[in-house]
Amino acid sequence: MSHVPPEVLTLRAFDEPVSADVRAHLAGCEVCGAEVATLRRTVAVARESWSEAPPPAPPAALWDRIVAGLSDDDAAALGPITSDPGPRELPAPDADADRGTPSGGASHDAAGSAHRAEGSVVELRPHQRRAWWAAAAAVAAFAIGGVATIAVQQPGSTVLASTELEALADVEPGQARLVETPEGLAIEVDVTGLPEVDGFYELWLLDTEVTSLVSLGPLEGAGPHLLPAGLDPAELPVVDISLEPFDGDPNHSGDSLLRGVLDELDGADRA
Amino acid sequence: MAAAIRGSVRRFPASPGPDGYGSEVLKADGPPQELLGTVFADGDPEVLRATYEAWGGLVLAYCRRSLADQHDAEEVTQQVFLEAWRGRATYDSSKGALPTWLMGIARNRVIDFRRQQHRRPTPVEAPADTSSSAEPELERVADRLLVADALRDLPEQRREVLRLAFFDDLTHTDIALRLELPLGTVKSHMRRGLASLRNRLGEEAR
């Protein structure tokens, strides 16, 4: 028979039963046999790794020492030295209690620690000052097929940043994502249960000082709501949804219902 | 216009606290950490900063475990990032993950550091030279930390599928029933999840 499909090799690495044909092939084929052996080693390491606590955030002072070792040009390009945002607290140990995780003995404990690990990684998530990801996104546009871990929201769209939209009024919180689509950068929004109103909902990008803003137009479901070409979302990282009356005034009504700051775009301001 | 918005800020004070950023959402969609490798060799120092913020803690934790002294660990971590930056042109993202490459540098720096330590005048009861006998252990620690990092990067559902396969000894059929997912989805999660973890392992383990 021809080589064993990857999914069957994976099942074999988990010691699931496979057909006699597959077993015979694996016994005789170096390529497939080596693949299963590697996957088994991966399974073994992963079982050990599950309970690893996430490492603490790297100290800002150490980064400053690294910068001191860079060339003058590189160091200058990085601008002034950052201040240490300090450690943040881990989420409560029972933070995963309501996630519908099937429970059971030691494995549940393992899962619990992994959830905690995840939480802290998110909270210590790095924030960069400049949009290096714009260059990276251009690379990703053609590399996407090969990089399995890039989150793909829709065919052809790559998530560059995301945020929880906090409810500023009596509405359900939501989420927003900055995505790279074939047509350009866009915002996708997940909000549910916005009440029917006498007026309409409008999507905006603001700067963190809330002094400048750009309208992305009326909220049309999830979107994508395209950004005007050339707009740098790092300058306007705040996603805002407002309630606008039908008054013919194109300005923001001042009535913001939901707001969130795109992660990875606003580090300098929140640190 | 801006004043009107400020007014709304006053009415609804809105600075998202640490809990305002939903971990599931962030993790599932993820910032483009994986993209760092694709631009690392380009020479933008901001990429080095983002790399340090993404994996500096990982490298430091590895050095800390291997050297047992925080000061030494920080010194070696500094060396690792400077060496990575100087050698960035030699990094090829198609050959391996960036954190794995960093950990390879870290392993060599740790070994060098230990050797230098042993060349210094030492007290009579100095421990025997452990640098060569401990190398397989160094590899193991690196793999554990790298795979743990990759596990945290997995989408929630994929990680849950792997957890059931790793620890509950469920077959893919059992998992599909338990999570009410199509069989094909479960098999795909298992294959892609395991491939993500394997992609982080050092060369020797692959």
Gap from B114 CA to chain A (nearest CA, Å): 21
For B:95-134, CB contacts with A below 8 A are none
Length of chain A counted residue by residue: 271
The pLDDT, as a whole number, for residue A32 is 93
Q: What is the ipTM of this complex?
A: 0.76
- Mutate which of B6, B8, B190 to test chain A, going by most A C-beta atoms within 10 A? B8
For residue A264, what pLDDT band results from cuts at 50, 70 and 90?
low
Residue A31 has pLDDT above 80, yes or no: yes
* Subunit contact B163:A78, Cβ cutoff 8 A: no
Nearest CB partner across the interface for B153, out of A149, A253, A259:
A149
Gap from A235 CA to chain B (nearest CA, Å): 16
> Distance (Å, rounded) from C-alpha B28 to C-alpha B43?
29
Least reliable range by pLDDT among A145-154, A172-181, B26-35, B163-172: A145-154
Q: What is the DSSP letter of A264?
A: T
Gap from A141 CA to chain B (nearest CA, Å): 11
The pLDDT, as a whole number, for residue B204 is 54
The pLDDT, as a whole number, for residue B70 is 92
For residue A48, what pLDDT band results from cuts at 50, 70 and 90?
very high
CB-based contact, B168 to chain A, within 8 Å: yes
CB-based contact, B23 to chain A, within 8 Å: yes
* Subunit contact A74:B58, Cβ cutoff 8 A: no
Nearest CB partner across the interface for B31, out of A114, A164, A264:
A264
* Subunit contact A125:B26, Cβ cutoff 8 A: yes
Residue B179 in tokens:
């999570």
Gap from A152 CA to chain B (nearest CA, Å): 8
* Subunit contact A50:B151, Cβ cutoff 8 A: yes
Give helix B183-198 / helix B156-167 axis angle, nearest 10°: 90
The model's pTM is 0.56
Buried b (16+ CB within 10 A) or exposed e, A215-231: bbeebeebbbbebeeee
CB-based contact, B157 to chain A, within 8 Å: no
* Subunit contact A175:B25, Cβ cutoff 8 A: yes
Dihedral sign, Cα of residue B36, residue B41, residue B47, residue B52: positive
Residue A143 in tokens:
């590399």
The pLDDT, as a whole number, for residue B121 is 56
Gap from B87 CA to chain A (nearest CA, Å): 13
For B:45-74, CB contacts with A below 8 A are 45-50, 52-54, 56-61, 74
Average pLDDT of span A173-194: 86
Three-class secondary structure of residue B176 per DSSP: helix
Cα dihedral: A259, A264, A267, A270 (round 10):
30
Q: Which residues of chain B have pLDDT under 50?
A: 1-31, 126-128, 130-131
CB-based contact, B159 to chain A, within 8 Å: yes
A1-30: per-residue pLDDT in tens? 688 899 999 999 999 999 999 999 999 999
| CB < 8 Å to B168, chain A | 102, 104, 107
Q: At B164, phi and psi to the nearest 5?
A: -65, -35
* Subunit contact A125:B201, Cβ cutoff 8 A: no
List Cα–Cα distances, A22 to A6, A13, A42, A121, B184, in angstroms.
12, 13, 21, 40, 19
* Subunit contact B166:A46, Cβ cutoff 8 A: yes
Residue A111 has pLDDT above 60, yes or no: no
- A215 or A88, which is more confident? A215
> Distance (Å, rounded) from C-alpha B183 to C-alpha B170?
13
Nearest CB partner across the interface for A88, out of B18, B42, B201:
B18
Give helix B183-198 / helix B172-179 axis angle, nearest 10°: 110
